[in-house]
Amino acid sequence: MKLSAKIILLAALLNFGCKRNDKPTIAFIAGAATDFWTLAEKGTNQAAKELPGYNVIFKYTTDGATEEQKRVVDDLLVNGVSGIAIAPLDPINQKPFIDATAEQVPVVITDSDIPGSKRLCYLGTSNIQAGKAAGQLIKTALPKGGKVMLFVGKADAQNAKERITGLEEELKDSGITIVGIKTDNIDRVRAKANVNDVLVSNPEVGCFVGLWSYNGPAILNAVKESGKLASVKIVCFDEEQETLQGVQKGEIVGTVVQQPYEFGYQSVKLLAKYISGDKKSAPGEVIIPATIINHDNVEGFIAKMKAIRAK
């Protein structure tokens, strides 16, 4: 085979992932593989069905590292992607990377915003309001006041910071004190170990709060194994199946759920409109409401989740 023919073949192979049938491609880049992002993928799949003129790609960040997210984005850009939705893992330090990407293609940020970046739009939860909702659950759990420990992957992520702000605002003058924040760097083993450490070192803490989706099951399993379910209240975020089962059984006071399905669905639809020329389709911010799930409404919510997963 002549050299020119080899170059043409190589170019075709490189572009195959993003230019199948000459259709523009929209990519959604999630965080680590969790039930939360599985629901977002369902949303992108539905959007793809409604957008036959587009290729839609969903990517997980398997090792939870920003370096992998950058590699994924770089590959997509080389292959001619037309728009990207991304859940940044380290919003503070990823701003230059997001800005550089946004200079080449429209970028929608979801889950944790990067204020001041060149992103087209933030689409996701108002995390301050979600934090306030969690604060309401904590006040239900500790009506006479008490001490709370927070657990999260990264405390400096924008969504974590805003949830903590919302919590602090809601708990002001309630007699409830946040005594600390334990981080795990998106490591489920470490997440559970953090809970065990607090159970031993801070026995006076009456409520454990998980700010990211996998923190709920980590807290529940550690508290169960310690035999302290009767004395330690649990409040968490998102709709992992173990979390919902815990709410159902009365082992978890409640969880603040977002709508990751809508993150996926609406991000892809918004980018498709923008790419097609509708520049008014990106208002800068699209807030998807969060909801409190407790023992009173968990059955209906579980049924709703089963229907979404069956799609």
Per-residue pLDDT tens digits for 266-280: 999 999 999 999 987
* 278: nearest Cα among 124, 102, 122, 120: 120
Within its chain, how far is the Cα of 114 from the centroid?
Answer: 14
In the chain, the N- to C-terminal Cα span, in Å, equals: 46
Is the pLDDT assigned to residue 74 strictly greater than 80?
A: yes
Per DSSP bridges, beta strands 233-237 and 254-257 are parallel
| Other CB atoms within 10 Å distance of the CB of residue 281 | 18
Spatial distance between the Cα atoms of 217 and 192, rounded to a whole number of angstroms: 9
Where do the structural domains in the chain lie, given as residue ranges? 3-125+259-289, 127-257
Is the pLDDT assigned to residue 17 strictly greater than 70?
A: no
Spatial distance between the Cα atoms of 274 and 59, rounded to a whole number of angstroms: 21
* 56: nearest Cα among 102, 88, 18: 18
| pTM value > 0.75 | yes
181 and 164 Cβ atoms separated by less than 8 Å: yes
Spatial distance between the Cα atoms of 245 and 191, rounded to a whole number of angstroms: 19
| Other CB atoms within 10 Å distance of the CB of residue 290 | 22
Tokens (6 digits) for 160? 């974590």
3-state SS class at 108: strand
- CATH code linked to domain 3-125+259-289: 3.40.50.2300
Task: Compute the residue count for the chain.
Answer: 311
pLDDT at 310: 87
3-state SS class at 285: strand
pLDDT digits (tens, 9 = 90+) for 162-175: 999 999 999 999 99
pLDDT at 89: 85
* 127-257 CATH, one of 3.30.2130.10, 2.40.110.10, 3.30.465.10, 3.40.50.2300: 3.40.50.2300
Higher pLDDT, 289 or 22: 289
Q: Do domains 3-125+259-289 and 127-257 have the same CATH topology?
A: yes
Average pLDDT of the segment spanning 225-242? 96
Is the pLDDT assigned to residue 148 strictly greater than 80?
A: yes
Instruction: Express the helix, strand and coil content of the chain in percent, nearest 5 each.
Output: 45, 20, 35
* Helix (H), strand (E), coil (C) string for 135-172: HHHHHHHCCCCEEEEEEECCCCCHHHHHHHHHHHHHHC
